[in-house]
């Protein structure tokens, strides 16, 4: 190509002595030759190195020793390698269907009653008019005069516990103390938006959202005697995620990207059925287990969780949640 360039340039010089129009013609021709040669010259090309043959250039490959023919992400890492880089050890499984129906039932040993609580005290201030939600009889908002217990925690924030007057004053005191201790076992990240707790009798399920945690004490009796252990604490993680995590994540493009990178697979049937309402709350108890208490769950739970939801778990990691009570 350089020979051609020199030849054209010589012709240009010759033509310049004879005719200006010829000079202009060959100048244009010379420019075309240069443009055509750009990037294709025998001494301008660059060889892209990809030592492990995964399709990602070595310069951009975070995991340079990937076995050929396996699927990798844009950084050249498999699911397992990406997990290992983040401190997670698991065996990837191709799970097309959710491995669980609901995650609160998997294990009652993620958080136990022996674990730390920042609960400090509750103070009875009497009864006062409050509007509360009651799931019984199909669910309804009711305005009643519950027992009021401001509850205090050593690390804040504090919450107001409102207990249905169907409980006696003495019974209400016991309930307030019991649930304040349980709430105190939650990290700040899960407690920060809880302003009130509503407590009723009945066997209806717990609830989260509305800056609140809803309790039906008859359901607690069922949770405490579940065959996988006392799942009350795990259920409160689920509900508190609704209250303090949901609103910040579901509209976050990074969360949506994480779901896509996980191929829109889900840890539970409940999460899959209601992905924009239950995905986070279903995943968060297992995130807590894998991140902070891996010795309390078996390897299968870890494998199932990271196989379906690795990028969402890594998303949680990046949020820098205040989880100090677990550390």
pLDDT in tens, 94-122: 999 999 999 999 999 999 999 999 999 99
Predicted TM-score of the model (pTM): 0.79
Is the separation of the CB atoms in 79 and 247 below 8 Å?
no
CA distances for 255 relative to 80, 131, 246, 279, 280, angstroms:
20, 34, 11, 11, 10
Q: How far is CA 17 from the centre of its chain?
A: 74
The phi-psi region of residue 119 (left if phi > 0; otherwise alpha if psi is between -120 and 50; otherwise beta) is: beta
Report the SS3 class of residue 197.
strand
pLDDT tens digits, residue range 238-288?
999 999 999 999 999 999 999 999 999 999 999 999 999 999 999 999 999
Q: Where are the domains of the chain?
A: 2-37, 51-77, 103-326
Question: Which residues make beta-bridge pairs with 200?
Answer: 216
Give residue 80's pLDDT. Answer: 64
pLDDT band at 48 (very low <50, low <70, confident <90, very high): confident
Q: How confident is the model at residue 82 (pLDDT cuts 50, 70, 90)?
A: low
Radius of gyration over alpha carbons of the chain, in Å? 31
pLDDT at 20 over 60: no
Asked whether the CA dihedral 64, 66, 69, 73 is positive or negative, the reply is: negative
Query: By the 8 A CB rule, do 201 and 164 touch?
Result: yes
- The tokens 């609580």 sit on which residue? 117
Q: What is the pLDDT of residues 52-76, one digit of tens each?
A: 677 778 766 667 666 566 667 666 7
For the chain, give the mean pLDDT.
Answer: 86
pLDDT tens track for 316-325? 999 999 999 9
Is the confidence at residue 17, as pLDDT, over 60?
Answer: no
């Amino acid at each position: 190509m350089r020979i051609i360039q020199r030849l054209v340039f010589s012709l240009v010089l010759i033509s310049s002595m004879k005719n200006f129009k010829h000079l202009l013609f060959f100048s244009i021709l010379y420019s075309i030759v240069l443009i055509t040669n750009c990037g294709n010259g025998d001494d301008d090309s660059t060889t892209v190195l990809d030592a492990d043959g995964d399709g990602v250039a070595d310069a951009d490959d975070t995991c340079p020793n990937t076995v050929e023919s396996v699927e990798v992400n844009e950084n050249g890492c498999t699911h397992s390698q990406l997990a290992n880089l983040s401190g997670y050890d698991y065996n990837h499984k191709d799970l097309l269907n959710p491995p669980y129906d609901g995650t609160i039932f998997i294990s009652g040993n993620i958080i136990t009653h022996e674990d730390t609580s920042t609960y400090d005290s509750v103070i009875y201030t009497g009864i006062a008019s409050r509007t509360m939600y009651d799931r019984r009889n199909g669910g309804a908002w009711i305005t009643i005069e519950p027992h009021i217990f401001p509850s205090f925690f050593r690390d804040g924030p504090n919450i107001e516990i409102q207990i249905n007057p169907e409980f006696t004053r003495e019974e209400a005191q016991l309930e307030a103390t019991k649930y304040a201790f349980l709430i105190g076992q939650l990290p700040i990240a899960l407690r920060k938006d809880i302003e009130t707790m509503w407590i009723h009798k009945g066997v209806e399920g717990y609830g989260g959202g509305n800056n609140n945690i809803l309790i039906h004490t008859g359901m607690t009796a069922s949770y405490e005697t579940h065959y996988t252990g006392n799942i009350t604490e795990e259920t409160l993680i689920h509900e508190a995620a609704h209250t303090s995590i949901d609103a910040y994540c579901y509209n976050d493009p990074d969360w949506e990207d994480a779901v896509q990178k996980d191929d829109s697979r889900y840890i539970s049937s409940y999460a899959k059925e209601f992905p924009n309402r239950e995905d986070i709350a279903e995943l968060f108890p297992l995130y807590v287990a894998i991140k902070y208490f891996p010795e309390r769950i078996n390897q299968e739970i870890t494998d199932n969780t990271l196989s379906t939801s690795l990028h969402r778990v890594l998303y949680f990691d990046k949020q820098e949640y205040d989880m100090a009570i677990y550390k």
